[in-house]
Chains A and B, each alone.
Chain A
Amino acid sequence: MLETIKLSKTFKEKKVVDEINLFLDEGESVGLLGPNGAGKSTTISMISSLLKPTSGDVKLDGKSTIKDPSKIRKVLGVVPQEIALYEELSAYENLKFFGKIYKVKKDTLEDRIQEVLDMVGLQERQKELVKTFSGGMKRRVNIAAALLHDPEILILDEPTVGIDPQSRNHILETVRNLNVERGTTILYTSHYMEEVEQLCNRVYIMDHGKIIASGSKSELLSILSSEDTIQVQLSGQSDSLLDRIKSFTSVLQVDETNEGMRIISKKGSNILSELVHAAEKEDIQIVNFQVETPSLEDVFLHLTGKTLRD
């Protein structure tokens, strides 16, 4: 349905997006993960036709949208990271304005406004000014405004940043319903791994402007299938202990944590005895030792060396 082909963007000789290829099939829900500055928002801006790519193409049903963006604009709804609303207008007035400029038919606009307000659970407060709303309510109106023209594809750029749990759950529920019940194709970016795990069939992981991994959750987790993740709680910290552990042949990666360290080692390698020995030499006690089942967060960390919120 929608695909990018070697899509690139360069700002002042800095390549922000570097030849990325991604695709969305009809009715799919796809996550786009990446740390800050990975190039997610620039990618979304190019897909949605707000930004012209330096090179590459965006195709909708096999046809390029670069020369004629109106094709994609008709079928695309974008929920930006910012609250793209008029704060001095009420929720209803905002939706009416955006509905009109989206050319929603006059006789159906009123019903459509009530429908989207119902979807985001704000029918009761539609007459109130947006500036009086909480952050979560504003984000819900932000989503409603992108749904007015009943888009086939919905791009959500971190739609749950800085909001209360109730609004967050409401937004997640709305997105899931749109995907499952209405068949809306979703491209979802978030800092919250659990949201992506919960909502998306497939995930793209971006870093430094490149797609570094992609696939379903199980496919991504299989990246770590040859590794064990071990959380070690220690009585104290020591740089020399860290260096000792790094020198173990079966250890692939060591990161300091608040309470000790996190070790990624080759699958099945028994490093416990070596670890105890090394800790004793440094006069540090091992308080707790736990081999974890890998999560997408671990995959992300493994691939980028950063957590999602870095």
Chain B
Amino acid sequence: MGSFIKKDLLVFWRDRKEILAALLLPIALIVILNFAFSGIFNDDQASINLDVAIVQDDDPSAGLERFKETIQEGDFSQAEKATMIEQAASIEPSRLIHDFFNNKGLKEWVNTKELPEKEAKELVDNGELDAIIKIPKGFTYHVSSAIMLNKESEVALTIMAEDQSAEVRALQNIVNSFIDSLNLQFALGSKAESAATEPELPQGGKEVVEGVDTYTISRYFTIAISTLFALFMAQTVALKTVTEKRERVFNRIVLSDSNPLYFLLGKTVSTFILTLLQMVIVFASLQLLLDIFPGKPFAFWLGLMVVMTAFALTVAGLSALFTAMTLNLTNSNAVSGLSTLIIMTLGVLGGSFFPIQGFPEIIQKMGEWTPNGLTQTVLIEWIQFGNADDLLLPIIILIAVFVVCFGIGMSIFPKRGRI
């Protein structure tokens, strides 16, 4: 079998076009995409800067007075009345909103100023303002009644904007988060001004969780594109069989009476070696060029290597399947087309062309069951959490995919004696 492996490796090595396509192309592509897209992302980060007008239609004092009157008319004890009035006075819902937007963290990218509604609308129309947050008339009264008396609020904060940009959506999220936070605090019985749980603010469109390493755009491209090109290695090695068949080299091998399965094993093992080498070279080159994983410990690289090895094994299984298909089908174009279709489908579903996080959950689930999608998922977790236990199941699945593909390849491979 060693002769078959050596032969396949030599044939691949001597084909300069294949070498360029397998090694240089993914590296060049990742570098180019990384520079192109990281520029866009950096611009996005810098451009999140909202100018917002707060239109104060509410009269807090009048609202509080009206609330006091409602309480006095209610069927409460004097002690209850006094407590509720005291709490309502301390809440001051419209003041909470002003305080929230004057928060230091938020002020860095949301500038607020109080303006009359008419002027604010003109500025929004002129494009000088991004949005208006309107605190409606009776806001203090209705919010206090909702909190203290469990009445349904008849008024709500409104956000008005010229268009639904990402910035305006971000503002909506912030306000919603703030309201949710307030509701939670009141529901728990804590005081409004305690500010124990500040709403979480998005930072430049990037989620940052403490203690978790970020999955950056360069990391995405490195993993997505290298896994895609690795899948193509299965096709490249398998399609050499087309030439071997056409040139009758395969017949010569058959006539040597060596076990035909050695031919299949040779393709499988050489694909495994070539895929692993390809991924190691791509990752190593990108680490040197882009420093995609700065300061990572040896254990991280070891885990990465283990995942890549399991994935290379899966690719080798696919190669076995494609090789057996090549020997069974008479039309070499059909084999090439079918294997390309399989790889492209795996590429799309597995998120090798674009992240599938925005797709429906069912597509995401399907993607995680593709070898490249699973490898991406496990590598994201490995980069973020570095938990070795998380590697075990995906690696078992990748090995299982190899076993299934190789098993099918073996079962449809022409039988010894009559090929």
Interface on A for B, CB 8 Å cutoff? 48-50, 52, 68-70, 73-74, 76, 78, 80-86, 88-89, 93, 97-98, 100-103, 129, 145-146, 149
* Dominant secondary structure of chain B at its interface with chain A: helix
**Chain B contacts for A74, CB-based, 8 A:** 257
User: A50-B419, A70-B257 given as contacts; is B3 within 8 A of A97 (CB)?
Assistant: yes
**Interface residues in B1-29 (C-beta closer than 8 Å to A):** 3-4, 6-7, 10-11, 14-15
Q: Contact at B419–A129, with CB atoms within 8 Å?
A: no
User: A69-B418, A70-B257, A101-B258 given as contacts; is B249 within 8 A of A84 (CB)?
Assistant: yes
Q: Contact at B7–A49, with CB atoms within 8 Å?
A: no
Q: Contact at A78–B14, with CB atoms within 8 Å?
A: no
Q: Contact at B255–A48, with CB atoms within 8 Å?
A: yes
Q: CB < 8 Å: which of B4, B15, B419 contacts A88?
A: B15
Minimum Cβ distance to chain A for residue B270 (Å): 13
Minimum Cβ distance to chain B for residue A52 (Å): 5
User: A84-B247, A101-B3 given as contacts; is B255 within 8 A of A49 (CB)?
Assistant: yes
B248 contacts the other chain (CB 8 A)? yes
**Chain A contacts for B10, CB-based, 8 A:** 88-89, 93
**Chain A contacts for B4, CB-based, 8 A:** 101
**Chain B contacts for A85, CB-based, 8 A:** 247, 249
Q: Contact at A88–B252, with CB atoms within 8 Å?
A: no
**Chain A contacts for B11, CB-based, 8 A:** 86, 88-89
Interface mask (B375-419 → A, CB under 8 Å = 1, otherwise 0): 000000000000000000000000000000000000000000111
Q: For B251, give the chain A residue with the smallest CB separation.
A: A50
User: A50-B419, A70-B257, A73-B257 given as contacts; is B252 within 8 A of A89 (CB)?
Assistant: no
**Chain A contacts for B418, CB-based, 8 A:** 52, 69
**Chain B contacts for A102, CB-based, 8 A:** 256-258
**Chain A contacts for B14, CB-based, 8 A:** 88-89, 129
**Chain A contacts for B248, CB-based, 8 A:** 80-82, 84
| A-B contacts, 25 listed (Cβ < 8 Å) | A48-B255, A49-B255, A52-B418, A68-B417, A70-B257, A70-B417, A73-B256, A74-B257, A78-B252, A80-B248, A80-B251, A80-B252, A81-B248, A84-B251, A84-B252, A86-B7, A86-B11, A86-B249, A88-B10, A89-B7, A89-B10, A98-B252, A101-B3, A101-B262, A129-B14
Q: For B257, give the chain A residue with the smallest CB separation.
A: A73
Minimum Cβ distance to chain B for residue A51 (Å): 9
Q: CB < 8 Å: which of A50, A93, A146 contacts B254?
A: A50
Q: For A96, give the chain B residue with the smallest CB separation.
A: B3
Q: For B258, give the chain A residue with the smallest CB separation.
A: A101
Please give 19 more A-B residue pairs, beta carbons under 8 A apart, in addition to A82-B248, A101-B4, A103-B258. Answer: A69-B257, A73-B257, A76-B255, A78-B252, A80-B251, A81-B248, A84-B252, A88-B10, A88-B15, A89-B10, A93-B10, A97-B3, A97-B6, A97-B7, A98-B252, A100-B3, A101-B3, A101-B256, A103-B256
Q: Contact at A145–B257, with CB atoms within 8 Å?
A: no
B366 contacts the other chain (CB 8 A)? no
**Interface residues in B38-94 (C-beta closer than 8 Å to A):** none
B32 contacts the other chain (CB 8 A)? no
| B interface residues, how many (CB within 8 angstroms) | 24
B184 contacts the other chain (CB 8 A)? no
Interface on B for A, CB 8 Å cutoff? 3-4, 6-7, 10-11, 14-15, 246-249, 251-258, 262, 417-419
The residue among B11, B14, B249, B251 with the most chain A CB atoms within 10 A of its own CB is B249
**Chain A contacts for B247, CB-based, 8 A:** 82-85
**Chain A contacts for B7, CB-based, 8 A:** 86, 89, 93, 97
State the CA gap A138–B255 with chains docked (Å). 20
State the CA gap A98–B256 with chains docked (Å). 8
User: A52-B418, A84-B247, A89-B14 given as contacts; is B255 within 8 A of A73 (CB)?
Assistant: yes
**Chain B contacts for A49, CB-based, 8 A:** 255
**Chain A contacts for B252, CB-based, 8 A:** 78, 80, 84, 98, 145-146
**Chain B contacts for A68, CB-based, 8 A:** 417
User: A69-B418, A88-B10 given as contacts; is B249 within 8 A of A78 (CB)?
Assistant: no
**Chain B contacts for A81, CB-based, 8 A:** 248
The residue among B10, B15, B252, B254 with the most chain A CB atoms within 10 A of its own CB is B252
Q: Contact at B255–A50, with CB atoms within 8 Å?
A: yes
State the CA gap A73–B254 with chains docked (Å). 9
**Chain A contacts for B253, CB-based, 8 A:** 101
**Chain A contacts for B251, CB-based, 8 A:** 50, 78, 80, 84
The residue among B15, B253, B257, B262 with the most chain A CB atoms within 10 A of its own CB is B257
Q: For A67, give the chain B residue with the smallest CB separation.
A: B417
Minimum Cβ distance to chain B for residue A250 (Å): 49
Minimum Cβ distance to chain B for residue A47 (Å): 11
**Chain B contacts for A70, CB-based, 8 A:** 257, 417
State the CA gap A107–B252 with chains docked (Å). 23
State the CA gap A74–B258 with chains docked (Å). 10
The 3 closest A-B pairs by CB, nearest first: A88-B14, A73-B257, A84-B248
**Chain A contacts for B254, CB-based, 8 A:** 50
Q: For B246, give the chain A residue with the smallest CB separation.
A: A82
The residue among B247, B256, B258, B419 with the most chain A CB atoms within 10 A of its own CB is B256
Q: For A74, give the chain B residue with the smallest CB separation.
A: B257
Q: Contact at A69–B417, with CB atoms within 8 Å?
A: yes
Minimum Cβ distance to chain A for residue B266 (Å): 10
Q: For A71, give the chain B residue with the smallest CB separation.
A: B257
State the CA gap A82–B247 with chains docked (Å). 6
State the CA gap A93–B15 with chains docked (Å). 15
State the CA gap A145–B253 with chains docked (Å). 11
Q: For A76, give the chain B residue with the smallest CB separation.
A: B255
**Chain B contacts for A149, CB-based, 8 A:** 256
Q: For B419, give the chain A residue with the smallest CB separation.
A: A50
State the CA gap A80–B3 with chains docked (Å). 22
The residue among A100, A101, A146 with the most chain B CB atoms within 10 A of its own CB is A101
State the CA gap A211–B419 with chains docked (Å). 26
State the CA gap A73–B179 with chains docked (Å). 84
State the CA gap A218–B4 with chains docked (Å). 48
State the CA gap A49–B418 with chains docked (Å). 7
State the CA gap A146–B3 with chains docked (Å). 17
**Chain A contacts for B6, CB-based, 8 A:** 97
Q: For B2, give the chain A residue with the smallest CB separation.
A: A100
The residue among B14, B246, B253 with the most chain A CB atoms within 10 A of its own CB is B14
